[in-house]
Amino acid sequence: MSNRDDKDLHQLIEQHLPLVRHVVFQVAVHFPRHVDREELATAGALGLVEAARRYDDSRGVPFDRFAAQRIRGAILDAVRAADWAPRSVRTLARKLEAVEQRLATELGRVPSVDETAEALGMKRDELSRLQDRMFRSVVLALEYEVSDADEDLTLVDVLADTANREPSDELETRELHAYLRDAVKLLPERHRLVVVGYFLEGCKSQELANLLGVTESRISQLRSEALVMLKDGIEAQYEAGAESEPAGRVARRKAGYATAIGGARPWHDRLEGVQLVPST
The more confident residue out of 17 and 1 is 17
pLDDT classification of 80: cutoffs 50, 70, 90: low
Look at residues 205, 215, 212 and name the one whose alpha carbon lies nearest to residue 188.
Answer: 212
Question: Cα 233 from chain centroid?
Answer: 18
Instruction: Kindly tell me if the per-residue pLDDT of 76 is higher than 70.
Output: yes
The mean pLDDT value for 93-114 works out to 82
- Per-domain boundaries in the chain: 6-135, 164-270
The model's confidence at residue 143, banded by pLDDT at 50, 70 and 90, is: very low
Q: Bigger pLDDT: 267 or 199?
A: 199
- Reported as a pLDDT band with limits 50, 70 and 90, residue 90 is low
Q: Say if residue 1's pLDDT is above 50.
A: no
Task: Provide the pLDDT for residue 189.
Answer: 94
Question: Residue 141 pLDDT more than 60?
Answer: no
CATH classification of 6-135 is 1.10.1740.10, yes or no? Answer: yes
Alpha-carbon distance 203 to 220, whole Å?
13
Q: Is the pTM of this model over 0.75?
A: no
Residue 127 pLDDT exceeds 90: no
Split at pLDDT 50, 70, 90, the class of 185 is: very high
pLDDT (mean) for 1-12:
70
The answer to whether 103 and 111 are in contact (CB under 8 A) is yes
pLDDT at 161 over 70: no
Q: At residue 229, does pLDDT exceed 80?
A: yes
Residue with the larger pLDDT of the pair 139 and 171: 171
Burial of 69: CB neighbours in 10 Å, binned 0-12, 13-18, 19+: buried
- Mark 77-88 as b/e (b = at least 16 C-beta within 10 Å): ebbbeebebeee
Tell me what the mean pLDDT of segment 73-82 comes to: 76
Confidence (pLDDT) at 91: 75
CB-based contacts of 259: which residues, under 8 Å, 6+ apart?
none
What is the CA angle 217-223-229, rounded to 5?
Answer: 140
Say what the pLDDT of residue 157 is.
55
